[in-house]
């Protein structure tokens, strides 16, 4: 349909909780097409409706690496049913041009949503795959949470944001994820131990 303008970090709308979709109307179908068109035009992996100025609980993901392996998935009114484990994820966001930093994500995620035809589905993704991390990243957008709120090193993230001409992290939004951080640290330490 059309390529939409991306809402950039610093906009208040990125911090607002999105509204449920009550009917999958023609307007919602066009919104989904616009999300895909915009995401593909920027070589993104996922895009949430708030990132194009629509405060609705909709996001799209495609973790395919080329035209042959495209795997578009539409999520309408998603609910995260379960999460487990923790991993380091090096992430960026289309609302943060060229800014990447290390964040905490769950290794496993189970999510329920509606597809573009209004049919419910459930996806379970394990092993900290790109899809698992993308689902969490895009779901956060619907809650007014940004990837930098999961930063493993706030000062490193602030330095990167400043270099890209973006505002530093607002400490009020940083998430307390001590248990996740401990699990990531333990995993790293166990991987570094020599095998006899």
Task: Give the global pTM.
Answer: 0.93
Helix/strand/coil for 64: coil
Q: Where are the domains of the chain?
A: 12-189
Q: Give the pLDDT confidence of 100-114 residue by residue, as tens digits.
A: 999 999 999 999 999
Q: What are phi and psi of 28, to 5 degrees?
A: -70, -40
Cα distance between residue 134 and residue 45, in whole Å: 7
Q: Which CATH architecture has domain 12-189?
A: Alpha-Beta Complex (3.90)
Q: Give the pLDDT confidence of 54-106 residue by residue, as tens digits.
A: 999 999 999 986 666 678 999 999 999 999 999 999 999 999 999 999 999 99
Active site residues: 138
């Amino acid at each position: 349909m059309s390529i939409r303008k991306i809402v950039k970090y610093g906009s208040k709308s990125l911090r607002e909780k999105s509204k449920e979709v009550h009917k999958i109307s023609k307007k919602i179908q066009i919104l989904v097409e616009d999300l895909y068109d915009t995401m593909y035009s920027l070589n993104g992996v996922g895009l949430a409706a708030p990132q194009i100025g629509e405060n609705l609980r909709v996001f799209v993901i495609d973790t395919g690496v080329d035209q042959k392996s495209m795997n578009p998935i539409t999520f309408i009114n998603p609910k995260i049913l379960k999460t487990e484990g923790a991993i380091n994820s090096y992430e960026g966001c289309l609302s943060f041009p060229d800014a990447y930093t290390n964040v905490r994500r769950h290794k496993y995620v189970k999510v329920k949503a509606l597809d573009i035809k209004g049919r419910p589905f459930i996806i379970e993704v394990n092993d900290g795959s790109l899809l698992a991390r993308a689902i969490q990243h895009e779901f956060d957008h619907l809650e007014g949470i940004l990837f930098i709120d999961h930063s493993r090193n706030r000062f490193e993230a602030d330095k990167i944001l400043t270099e890209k001409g973006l505002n530093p992290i607002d400490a009020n939004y940083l998430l307390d994820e001590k248990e996740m951080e401990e699990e990531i640290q333990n995993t790293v330490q166990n991987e570094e131990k020599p095998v006899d």
